Structure 1
Amino acid sequence: MSMSNFNNKTVVITRPIERADILADMVIKQGGKPLIIPTLELQLVESEELLYIANNIDDFDWIIFTSPAGVKSFFNTYKSDKIPCNIAVIGVKTEEELLKYGDNKPKLLPEKFTAEGLLEAFESIDIKDKKIALPRTLSARKVLPEGLEKRGADVLVAEAYTSAIPKDKTLILDLLDKLLDGEVDIITFTSPLTFTNLIKIIEEEKAEKLDDLIYALKNNVIVGSIGPITGNVIKKYDIETIEPEQYTVKNMIDAILQNIN
């Protein structure tokens, strides 16, 4: 399908700085001006549970990676390349990160890149009494571990990274001014925290302008969401979003282009 480009529109990228370049390159190739303003910082964590998983991986039947950061954190502590147990991943970017560390082809990659999608993929697999390792951020939703445990699995959640509000909020406060001054055309959110952190920072730093921010997001800019989990959080503020059918940044960009042209 042929699509027009962004026609020099300013596209804000709120995802963590480590993941922003790929999306920025897509925006540039489609004729847009990327503005990288992370509302989320990722910090790898070497938790006690993560060390236990890395040192006892032979005891597990499955390990599940839900993000590239989880993969990176695991291999920071794991002293080998090959993972001996079954592997499940959410998202093609997570799979790509996994394959950087050797021949670790995932056994399970759901069509829907969500916790619910992975649980659906597990429906045809007997996981009763199976030990499952789940390295991720502790701020993630509990849908996945609780869903696995309901089916009889023994799940060990290990903190692998933290998703924190950026220490330096200068760029985010500058973004507020740009949004209110009409200098932003499109803003993208790739996780619920990229949106809720923006709201929280403005509530704490510029509370008197929060209503103006929400008005601007409703009326003055196009809001792109990577998928329904993120989109539903945004819609609680009556802000309309454009979402792709498949939850990747490329498909999000394509969906935005199709809707604006």
Structure 2
Amino acid sequence: MKKLAGKKVAILGSRKIEDISKLMENQGGIAVSRPAQGTALLKDEKLQDHVEMLTECSFDWIIFTTGIGVETIYQTALEMNRSDALISSLQKARIASRGYKTAHTLKKLNITPEVRDDDGSMAGLLRELSAHSLDGMKVALQLHGDPAPHLKQWLENNHAEYEEILPYIHIPPEKKVMNLLLSELLDGKLDSVFFTSTPQVRNLFSFARKNNAEDELKTCFSDRVVALSVGKVTAQALHEEGIARVIFPEVERIGSAVIELARFYAEEDIRTDV
């Protein structure tokens, strides 16, 4: 029998839904899409100005924090007929990168970061950046719709001048989707929830709090619903919301997370049979 046989899993991401669903179904699971992120791309003149600045080598350091941020900047450069100039500039720049997806996206553009985090987190990126002096330097800081207070404070403490680049922002997800997701959780209709980013965690628990259902939601995750995270950073966000049991892979990968969930249920079956 397949390890996820009959298990209904809600996918909270908004990208690669078909691919993730296929992975779940290959293990016998039933995948349902419940997007809880609300990402919106910014196609404005400010982003075009930032792309122009990047192509003109206007920065001493460039810090990328998300893969989709890199992709959006590159796509904007394509639309401006500036993609070759952008890549040429980035290949010459001193670049810091947070997260596997970010480094992977840069690699596809033949760009190798000088600095990478050691654990996928902003704190890990700061640990590695601390070996370098950014005193008096101009820094491009690509953010992802969420504030990065510790990173910005570190740059200020190190007397770096930084320019925030926001290729996209996180907006609230659709209320009807969140209503459906919360009701399914409280009614025991889901076996697991797959979180692929920290905004999904915050959005779900914020929505539950607004509907006076936070305690019930936490009880669901402690009793019957398995919280699945794509990696340790998103897992930490769940822990901070009071969720003790979180399944996640050592290396942040979608496929690895699905395998970890399958392994969890297989081991649970063994415990039940004993």
TM-score tier by shorter-chain length is 0.7 to 0.9
Task: In structure 1, list runs of 5 or more residues that go unmatched.
Answer: none
- List per-residue Cα deviations over 1:102-146 (Å, max 9, x = no partner): 433333333311111112222333333222211223423322232
Give matches, 1:56-135, under 5 Å: 56-57=53-54, 58-78=57-77, 79-81=82-84, 82-84=87-89, 85-100=93-108, 102-135=109-142
Q: Which amino acid aligns with 1:72?
A: E
Which of 157, 160, 171 pairs up with 2:164? 157
Q: CA deviation at 1:37?
A: 0.6
Distance in 2 (CA, whole Å) between partners of 1:110 and 1:233 is 18
SS at match of 1:18: coil
Contact 1:119–1:144 at 8 Å: present in 2 too? yes
Which is worse superposed, 61-70 or 77-86? Answer: 77-86
Shift in alpha-carbon separation, 1:225–1:76, aligned structure 2, 3 A: same
What is the aligned-residue RMSD (CA, Å)?
2.6
Q: CA deviation at 1:180?
A: 2.2
Equivalent residues, number = 253
Q: Among all aligned residue pairs of Structure 1 and Structure 2, give the percentage whose two residues are the same amino acid.
A: 26
Distance in 2 (CA, whole Å) between partners of 1:232 and 1:96 is 22
SS at match of 1:224: strand
1:45 aligns with 2:42: yes
Distance in 2 (CA, whole Å) between partners of 1:247 and 1:214 is 24
Distance in 1 (CA, whole Å) between partners of 2:152 and 2:263 is 36
SS at match of 1:87: strand
Contact 2:205–2:241 at 8 Å: present in 1 too? no
Bigger radius of gyration, 1 or 2? 2
Q: Which amino acid aligns with 2:220?
A: A
Q: CA deviation at 1:96?
A: 3.2
Shift in alpha-carbon separation, 1:46–1:134, aligned structure 2, 3 A: farther
Q: Which residue of 1 aligns with 2:223?
A: 219
- List per-residue Cα deviations over 1:172-218 (Å, max 9, x = no partner): 222222222322111122222201211223444xx254433232122
- List per-residue Cα deviations over 1:212-259 (Å, max 9, x = no partner): 323212212111233444334333443222233333333433433333
Distance in 1 (CA, whole Å) between partners of 2:215 and 2:176 is 20
Contact 1:74–1:135 at 8 Å: present in 2 too? no
TM-score normalised by the chain length of structure 2 = 0.79
Distance in 2 (CA, whole Å) between partners of 1:135 and 1:49 is 13
